[in-house]
Amino acid sequence: MNFIENGTVTSPKGFKAAGVVGGVKPSNTTKRDIMMIASDIPCTAAAVFTKNLVKSSAIEVTKKNISNGIAQAVIANSGNANTCNADGIEKAERMCELAAENLGIDKNDVIVASTGVIGQILPIEPFERAVPEIAALMSENGGTDAAEAIMTTDTVKKEAAVSVEIGGKNVTIGAVAKGSGMIHINMGTMLSFVTTDAAISSEMLRAALCEAVEVSYNMVSVDGDTSTNDTLAILANGVAGNEEITTRSADYTAFTQALTALCKMMAKKLAADGEGATKLMVCTVTGAKTVADAKGAAKAVICSSLVKAAIFGSDANWGRVLCALGYSGCDIDVTKVDVAFSSAAGEIYVCKNGAGIDFSEEKAKEILLEKEIVIKVVLNDGDGEAEAYGCDLTYDYVKINGDYRT
């Protein structure tokens, strides 16, 4: 399994994409904000969505369209979430129709997604104008433009691809995502689309997606707010020519491992570019009684505003890590907990058996001044392990979110 240089959603064979400046927000005249991804032939498909009761109308339409396990294209926009609007379903349906008409496919095979401000009517005119243009631009080099078109407060495009040999064939899996704020455990992203040329049944595709999500997108938190629009969809068109994966075979395992590696990479990209973030924060928990305890503990640490602010300040305030472990609700013996901070600059233990130990503040500072910080929690109480991804809490998070709608 290898990551592909400059990999994106059009790296797998038989996929095209494009993104244009549609002007979904009237004030936007420069950033791509509407995109499509399409396969040359129909795909097996699977998707997971936000658990928020308040859901984008786009999600309702996508759920219906994907219920038969088949899809062929994605249409998505940034700038407006199409959520909490009386005419939301109608608008989402129209987006699918426009995509289908211009791509020459069935409108029930379109996945639709929106991201942006909640509660503002989605203007349909930008789509009427832009979709024919996008259809004309669809190309095998369009993945990057599609990645740009779903960005909101993201500061970098999020895309990657991996290749893996399955049944003697070279299979590629590619992904784009947008994240930034309103990111929390359980679909810690707003939108992500994954493509693959693997041949895999929709049931096995769904199983692989769920396995991968559990340890990647579901372990990311930026700010504790679960979005109303979170959508992660995967399309598999079978063009790689491998024998179709229909059971939990060795091929299934190889595919799922590659998909998981890709999703973990995307999860780290999402966390590192959290709104206002200056640092990626990874919490690894080992020695937990169970995997569930390890996950809960890791999530509590990366979600703590106080830990996040301390990491921003490069302050080795490990007491806040203990505090978060203590309220995590997990079965932890606090008298057995060891904590270390590590980064490219080294590793330093700051707590053993739940109590502080002497450590060099100078060395700790040096470690915490790096851009990728690992908070290592050793519970010494079993074999459960987990890893969660977050970012620091900064002035810019507050600035970005103090006046988001304008």
Q: Which x/- pattern, by CB under 8 A, does the window 292-311 give for its own copies?
A: -----------xxxx--xx-
Supply the minimum distance, in Å, between the C-beta of residue 82 and its own copies.
11
Q: Which is nearer to its own copies, 9 or 59 (CB)?
A: 59
Out of 315, 366, 370, 385, the residue judged to bind its own copies by CB under 8 A:
315
Q: Between residues 3 and 395, which has the closer beta carbon with respect to its own copies?
A: 395
- Per-position x/- string for 78-117, each x denoting binding to its own copies as judged by CB under 8 A, each - no binding: ---x-xxxx------------------------------x
For the chain, the straight-line distance linking the first and the last C-alpha, in angstroms and rounded, comes to 44
State which of residues 125, 243, 248, 313 lies at the interface with its own copies (CB under 8 A): 313
Closest approach of Cβ 405 to its own copies, in Å? 6
Residues written for the chain: 406
Given a contact cutoff of 8 angstroms between Cβ atoms, the answer to whether 400 and 304 are in contact is no
Burial call 58-80: b when 16+ CB within 10 Å, e when fewer? bbbbbeebbeeebbbbbbbbbbb
Between CA 386 and CA 167 the distance in angstroms is: 31
Asked if 189 is an active-site residue, the reply is yes
> Which one of 9-17, 142-150, 284-292, 321-329 is the stretch in contact with its own copies (CB under 8 A)?
321-329
Instruction: Quote the least distance from Cβ 222 to its own copies, whole Å.
Output: 9
Does position 228 interact with its own copies (CB under 8 A)? The reply is: yes
Cβ–Cβ < 8 Å for 293, 388? no
Reading the block at residue 231, the tokens are 């959508």
Residue 77 interacts with its own copies (CB under 8 A): yes or no:
no
Distance CA 202, CA 221 (A): 29
- For the CA atoms of 313, 318, 324, 326, the dihedral, rounded to the nearest 10 degrees, stands at -170
- Enter the DSSP assignment of 223: S
Segment near its own copies (CB under 8 A), from 8-16, 47-55, 103-111, 282-290? 47-55
- Binding residues with its own copies: total (CB under 8 A): 62
Query: For its own copies, which residue of 30, 67, 247, 327 counts as binding (CB under 8 A)?
Result: 327
Distance CA(87)–CA(120), nearest Å, equals 10
Q: Is 184 exposed, middle or buried (0-12, 13-18, 19+ CB in 10 A)?
A: buried
Q: Does 322 bind its own copies (CB under 8 A)?
A: yes
Give the residue, chosen from 1, 89, 291, 323, that forms a contact with its own copies under the rule CB under 8 A.
323
H helix or E strand, kind and range, residue 127 = helix 125-137
Q: C-beta of 185: minimal distance to its own copies in Å?
A: 10
Q: Shortest distance, CB of residue 274 to its own copies, whole angstroms?
A: 11
318 near its own copies, judged by CB under 8 A = yes
Determine the 3-state secondary structure of 171 from DSSP: strand
Which residues are registered as beta bridge partners of 196?
173, 236
- Other C-beta atoms closer than 10 Å to the C-beta of 269 total 22
- Please pick, among 83, 153, 189, 394, the residue that the annotation labels catalytic: 189
- Cα→Cα distances 400→181, 191, 397, Å: 9, 19, 5
Binding residues among 109-168 for its own copies as defined by CB under 8 A: 117-121
Enumerate binding residues for its own copies (CB under 8 A).
51-55, 81, 83-86, 117-121, 181-182, 184, 223-228, 303-306, 309-310, 312-313, 315, 317-320, 322-327, 332, 334, 351, 354-356, 393-395, 397-406
State the catalytic residues.
Answer: 189
